[in-house]
Structure formats: structure tokens, C-alpha cells
């Protein structure tokens, strides 16, 4: 695909006129998908797709288009040439864009991820074995993903990776289930078996009568999967230059020096440690790391080309939404095996859902517990808890009330596949928090 992409861009660049500049992007995948229900394969399929994006620039004017391609060069060239002509026809009718910015320094590069994926039959055998005798539902995806960027100035970038993602639940009854995930670049039967064993142990607890507790403040443990939902709220404008300058960031109090997080909290955009491309759609290269929060204090932000042009800063490879693609939070010093004992008496939260800001300016987040949430007494799981609503500020939960973070972290790949499999990821510890507020 890399050679095909570059050859088409070369051919399209030869059709440019005058001072026109062409930016081109490519995305493609070869993915297997298997859906499970009641521990049986209910649907299996293969997705093979590719998309070409073009942006034609003339002075301060630009127009964009995209096309699904067959990967048959002559047929695709015909469609892309027609799209190029259409973009050229639009240019006289679009206003000049004062914030248009694209890379003019040629910085080419390649990243080729090694294919260490298991044979699909091996993974299916392990998954079906885990579901034997249980009611399992879930979806498994694996395969290769590639992205490319090229422009008529001579820059060429290519990225490929091979990953798998299993998102599954052991279902008990009614609204009671244990949700689990296993994702990565190389399958390990041992690692998967450990996750299955932990999920099966929690499933057995769900058979006990559920408990309802009064609203109030409780000591909680947020597992890495719950932390992903919680910390993702910070990504909703928290690290965006545009949001910071327009004061719509949920971290406004931190930005203005009125609040901070715990010194235990350091968060980075860690492109070097994720599975996202090291380049973005206008050709800017992402650094290996951008430190967003350092020891509880706000540090750098994500700068897209448009925001960089508007506010006079150099872009640092961020996409237009200025959200992290490879979120990374530093580990703490609590061994994960001791999390239950350190929790003592309180609430163990595996999953959350329906999160939103109840007070964005105060970075206050509300949401619900989901699936296997447990009441813990004396460092042991005592009973499943009925669904509860929480309402808490980040400045308390990840600030003054943060007891500690686990020494082990989970590498969580985004299971999204709408339009194409995601290359987003998060590497997160679990968190032990005092006085976490539950309102219902």
C-alpha cells in the first residue's frame, strides 16, 4: 500500500498548476471481526478498506475531499483526478482562510510495526474456552492498520501497526455482568488466562445478594478501566491550546493557578509508547512525548496547526481536536495485588458510564457505576453494589484526596471501529481515593 499511495500522489502532483500545493492522506485496514453471544460465535467477518483524502491549497484558499478506493491504481487514479479537478473548481468560491497552516519543511519517515498477531483460530479457541460453561458476550478484532501522508513538496510519511482487541463480558443476570478487556500487539495465553480468572472470580461474587448503600463520601478504588473513563474527561478540552486560550478548558482553575492536582499525577501524550501515527493530516510530526501535567501542575498543551497559526505557537503534531491519542499516566507505588487490602472498607469500581461535566469550570464530573462494582470490607469483596451516581471534582479525586496509584498499569487500546479501527490508546494505573462523593 505504501508504494501505491506514493505513486498516486506523484501522479496527482504532476497535475498541479501554478502555485498549487497538494496534501494527501491515506488510511486502510485488513481486520478480522468476531462477535460472541452466549459463548458462541454469532458473526464473523473480514473488513478490507482504504480511503484517500486530498486537500488542495492555493495561496490562502483550500478545499478538501475524500474517496474510498479499490487499491487498483488505474481505476483509483481516475477517481482521484476527477476529485482534484472538483477541488480546483471550488477554490475561487471559498474565502481565504486566515488560520490555514501546513508543513512546508519536508520531514519524511516510516514506521512499520511487526506483525506478531496470533492465528485467528488460536485466539478463538482461547476465547471460546474461557466462555465454556458461562454466558459470555463480546467482540474480537485483529489485523493491520496503516496511515500515510504525502504532499507535493516532497514529504512522505508511512505508518503501520498490527493489533488485537477483545472486549467481553461474563453475564450473570439482569444488569449484573463483569466486563473485561484484553488488547495489545502480541497475544499471551497466560495473560489472557489471568484476566479470565479475575473476571470469573468477580462473576461468582455477583451471585450474592446485591447491596444498596446510602449516598455519601466513601473510600474507592478506580480500576484502570474506570480511570480511563474518568481521565478521558480531562481530554475534553483540558489539554487543548484553543480551549485554554478561550477559557473553555475544564482545567481553567489549574491554568489560572487556583488549583492543582496531586504531585503523584503526571500525564503525557506519549506517541512513542502508543500505536498512533507520529504525523498528522497537515504533515506536522509529533514529538515522542508531550508532558501535559507534571507532578500535579499544568505544563504543555496540544497545539494543532490552526490553533498554532491563530495564537502564534509552533504546532506539536496535534490533530484538529487537540485531544491526546496516546494518553499516558505515570504509575504509583501501590502494588496492584495489594489494592484490595489498601482499600480496606469502601467501593471497588471496575467500570463507569454516562460521564459528563456537572460543572465544567470547576472540573466537576458526574457519572454512574457500571457492571461489577463491589462493596469491600476488611480488604475483601463482600457484595455487589447496585448502580450508584457519583459527582466529584478532579481536584479532589486526583488532588487532595488521592491516596495513591498502582505500580502496574494497563495498556488499553480504544476498541472503536466506527469508520475504521482506532489507533488511540491509554496506559493507566488504578487509583485509590478517599472521600469520593456518591449522590444517588
Domain annotation covers residue 82: yes
pTM, two decimals, is: 0.94
Domain boundary among 182, 206, 230: 206
Average pLDDT, integer, range 59-69 = 97
Say whether both 248 and 136 belong to one domain: no
Domain annotation covers residue 30: yes
Say whether both 71 and 114 belong to one domain: yes
pLDDT digits (tens, 9 = 90+) for 267-320: 999 999 999 999 999 999 999 999 999 999 999 999 999 999 999 999 999 999
Say whether both 184 and 291 belong to one domain: no
CATH number at residue 176: 3.30.2290.10
Question: Which domain range does residue 21 map to?
Answer: 2-206
Q: At residue 176, does pLDDT exceed 90?
A: no
Say whether both 360 and 258 belong to one domain: yes
Return the percentage of the chain with pLDDT > 70, whole number.
100
Domain boundary among 206, 234, 266: 206
Average pLDDT, integer, range 254-279 = 97
**What total number of domains does the chain contain?**
2
Q: Which of 202, 204, 182, 178 is nearest to 192 (CA)?
A: 182
pLDDT digits (tens, 9 = 90+) for 323-369: 999 999 999 999 999 999 999 999 999 999 999 999 999 999 999 99
Measured between alpha carbons, how far is 407 from 204 in angstroms, rounded to an integer? 27
Amino acid at each position: 500500500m505504501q508504494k501505491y499511495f506514493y505513486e498516486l500522489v506523484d501522479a496527482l502532483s504532476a497535475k498541479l498548476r501554478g502555485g498549487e500545493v497538494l496534501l494527501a492522506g491515506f488510511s486502510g485496514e485488513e481486520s478480522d471481526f468476531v462477535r460472541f453471544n452466549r459463548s458462541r460465535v454469532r458473526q464473523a467477518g473480514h473488513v478490507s478498506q482504504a480511503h484517500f483524502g486530498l486537500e488542495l491549497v492555493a495561496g490562502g484558499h483550500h478545499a478538501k475531499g475524500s474517496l474510498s478506493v479499490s487499491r487498483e491504481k488505474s481505476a483509483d487514479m481516475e477517481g482521484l483526478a476527477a476529485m482534484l479537478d472538483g477541488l480546483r473548481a471550488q477554490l475561487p468560491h471559498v474565502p481565504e482562510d486566515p488560520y490555514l497552516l501546513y508543513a512546508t519543511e519536508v520531514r519524511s519517515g516510516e514506521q512499520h510495526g511487526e506483525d506478531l498477531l496470533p492465528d485467528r483460530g488460536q485466539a478463538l479457541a482461547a476465547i471460546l474456552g474461557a466462555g465454556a460453561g458461562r454466558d459470555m458476550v463480546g467482540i474480537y478484532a485483529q489485523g493491520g492498520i496503516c496511515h500515510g501522508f504525502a504532499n507535493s513538496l516532497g514529504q512522505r510519511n508511512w505508518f503501520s501497526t498490527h493489533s488485537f482487541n477483545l472486549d467481553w463480558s461474563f453475564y450473570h443476570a439482569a444488569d449484573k455482568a463483569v466486563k473485561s478487556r484484553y488488547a495489545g500487539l502480541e497475544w499471551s495465553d497466560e495473560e489472557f488466562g489471568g484476566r479470565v480468572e479475575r473476571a470469573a472470580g468477580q462473576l461468582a461474587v455477583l451471585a450474592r445478594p446485591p447491596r444498596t448503600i446510602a449516598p455519601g463520601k466513601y473510600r474507592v478504588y478506580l480500576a484502570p478501566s474506570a480511570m480511563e473513563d474518568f481521565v478521558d474527561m480531562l481530554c475534553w478540552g483540558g489539554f487543548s491550546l484553543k480551549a485554554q486560550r478561550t477559557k473553555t478548558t475544564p482545567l481553567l482553575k489549574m491554568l489560572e493557578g487556583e488549583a492543582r492536582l496531586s504531585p503523584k499525577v503526571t500525564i503525557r501524550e506519549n506517541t512513542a509508547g502508543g500505536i498512533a501515527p507520529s504525523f498528522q493530516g497537515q504533515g506536522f510530526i509529533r514529538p515522542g512525548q508531550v508532558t501535559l501535567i507534571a507532578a500535579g501542575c499544568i505544563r504543555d498543551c496540544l497545539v494543532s496547526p490552526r490553533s498554532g497559526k491563530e495564537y502564534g505557537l509552533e504546532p506539536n503534531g496535534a490533530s484538529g481536536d487537540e485531544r491526546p491519542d496516546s494518553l499516558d499516566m505515570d504509575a504509583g507505588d501501590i502494588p496492584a495485588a495489594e489494592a484490595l487490602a489498601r482499600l480496606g472498607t469502601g467501593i471497588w469500581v471496575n467500570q463507569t458510564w454516562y460521564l459528563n461535566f456537572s460543572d465544567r469550570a470547576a472540573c466537576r464530573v458526574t457519572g454512574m457505576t457500571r457492571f461489577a462494582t463491589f462493596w469491600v470490607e476488611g480488604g475483601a469483596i463482600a457484595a455487589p453494589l447496585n448502580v450508584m451516581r457519583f459527582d466529584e471534582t478532579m481536584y479532589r479525586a486526583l488532588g487532595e484526596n488521592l491516596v495513591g496509584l498502582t505500580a502496574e498499569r494497563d495498556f488499553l487500546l480504544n476498541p472503536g471501529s466506527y469508520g475504521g479501527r482506532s489507533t488511540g490508546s491509554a496506559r493507566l494505573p488504578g487509583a485509590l481515593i478517599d472521600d469520593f462523593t456518591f449522590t444517588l
